[in-house]
Amino acid sequence: MFRPQIKVLDCTVRDGGLINQWQFSDDFVRKVFIALTLAGVDYMEIGYKSSEKYFSRSENGSWKFCSEDDLKRIVGDMDNKMKLSAMADIGRIDYGDIPKKSDSVLDMIRVACYVKEVDKAISLAHHCMEKGYEATINLMAVSKVIEKDLDDALEDLSKSDVPVIYLVDSFGAMYSEQINFLAKKYFAALPGKGLGIHAHNNQQLAFANTIEGIVAGINHLDATIYGMGRGAGNCPLELLLSFLKNPKFDIRPVIEIIQEIFIPMKAKVEWGYHIPYMITGILNEHPRSGMKAMSAEKLPDLRQFYESLRDDTQLD
């Protein structure tokens, strides 16, 4: 698949940081930055933009905050063709804590929100755009909302100035059918806007669903190196770059950093396909119970884990 409009965003540090509270060394982040630059990746999402009044630096690494000092430690001396992005969550950042683009090395701020918060997200994204950033909105957990609410949110988004909206499979619950259905819905409801996709790997479908999104016309693609990410992780960047035939991409720097850093790291920190994450995925549930099961000293009885989570979803 070669489509010049396609943009790949790597969110290894941002999404992967959910595993370890963003306690990455500067050396690690810098090596990721260099590998992504060499690989021709369009955007690196280097962390969350959060206010220090809501989170402490004693509990969270630098990439929970992405202050200009943090960012400049990594990229201050580099000739940066690759764009830098940070994610902002509703209620975790104050407008005043976002510098003007001209004072920042960030290029883009992606606002993540639930469907019910879409108006707050639009307001924050507009604020970022007024300060000079590119902005997107990532609509999370849409596999759990009724269609009427989703349609209302899409209508609000269609009236906004935000140019790119992401289809997000937060729980790794979707099959190609759902991706195709939602991509068509988003395109129809959001004329003139670009779409992105962010998939999770609970059912080993993050890469396949990203391909499904590409086939449906989605051009903004999220991935992480070696699929690193919370729980089952994300669409593996190396697979995506290999699938994309755009001449600007080179898989080799990604293979190198996987061998140097990510294979040893995966031996210590478990992400990827595991039955507890598969179970939350097939039941369309938040991965938190799966993460609890995986972090226990001994894996709980998995049949019972499945039965109880399934019972939780049967309320009537």
Shortest Cβ 223–its own copies spacing (Å)? 12
When asked if residue 3 is in the footprint of its own copies (CB under 8 A), the reply is no
* Spatial distance between the Cα atoms of 157 and 164, rounded to a whole number of angstroms: 10
Sign of CA dihedral 71, 160, 145, 184: negative
When asked if residue 20 is in the footprint of its own copies (CB under 8 A), the reply is no
When asked if residue 34 is in the footprint of its own copies (CB under 8 A), the reply is no
* Spatial distance between the Cα atoms of 52 and 54, rounded to a whole number of angstroms: 5
Q: If we measure between CA atoms, which residue out of 235, 240, 153, 251 comes closest to residue 201?
A: 235
- Determine which residue in the list 243, 246, 270, 284 makes contact with its own copies, applying CB under 8 A: 243
Span of 20-28, 50-58, 62-70, 247-255 interacting with its own copies by CB under 8 A: 247-255
59 versus 260: smaller Cβ distance to its own copies: 260
18 versus 302: smaller Cβ distance to its own copies: 302
* Spatial distance between the Cα atoms of 117 and 194, rounded to a whole number of angstroms: 20
- Which residues 213-232 are close enough to bind its own copies by CB under 8 A? 215
> How many helical (H) and strand (E) elements, i.e. helices and strands, does the chain have?
13, 8
When asked if residue 238 is in the footprint of its own copies (CB under 8 A), the reply is yes
* Spatial distance between the Cα atoms of 275 and 4, rounded to a whole number of angstroms: 38
When asked if residue 273 is in the footprint of its own copies (CB under 8 A), the reply is yes
When asked if residue 302 is in the footprint of its own copies (CB under 8 A), the reply is yes
Torsion angles phi and psi, residue 87, rounded to 5: -100, 145
When asked if residue 309 is in the footprint of its own copies (CB under 8 A), the reply is no
When asked if residue 306 is in the footprint of its own copies (CB under 8 A), the reply is yes
Residues contacting its own copies: total by CB under 8 A = 38
Residue pair 236/207 in contact by the 8 Å Cβ criterion = yes
Residue pair 230/286 in contact by the 8 Å Cβ criterion = no
Residue pair 249/40 in contact by the 8 Å Cβ criterion = yes
Q: Report the residue count for the chain.
A: 316
When asked if residue 134 is in the footprint of its own copies (CB under 8 A), the reply is no
When asked if residue 290 is in the footprint of its own copies (CB under 8 A), the reply is no
When asked if residue 204 is in the footprint of its own copies (CB under 8 A), the reply is yes
When asked if residue 173 is in the footprint of its own copies (CB under 8 A), the reply is no
When asked if residue 234 is in the footprint of its own copies (CB under 8 A), the reply is no
Span of 16-24, 151-159, 184-192, 199-207 interacting with its own copies by CB under 8 A: 199-207
86 versus 211: smaller Cβ distance to its own copies: 211
CA 81 to chain centre: 21
Burial class (CB in 10 A: 0-12, 13-18, 19+), 312: exposed
- Determine which residue in the list 263, 269, 286, 312 makes contact with its own copies, applying CB under 8 A: 263
Residue pair 81/107 in contact by the 8 Å Cβ criterion = no
Residue pair 7/219 in contact by the 8 Å Cβ criterion = yes
When asked if residue 156 is in the footprint of its own copies (CB under 8 A), the reply is no
Beta-bridge partner residues of 223: 10
Shortest Cβ 99–its own copies spacing (Å)? 38
When asked if residue 251 is in the footprint of its own copies (CB under 8 A), the reply is yes
Shortest Cβ 8–its own copies spacing (Å)? 16
- Write out the residues near its own copies by the rule CB under 8 A: 175-177, 201, 203-209, 211-212, 215, 236, 238-239, 242-243, 251-252, 255-256, 258-259, 263, 272-273, 275, 278-279, 282, 299, 301-303, 306-307
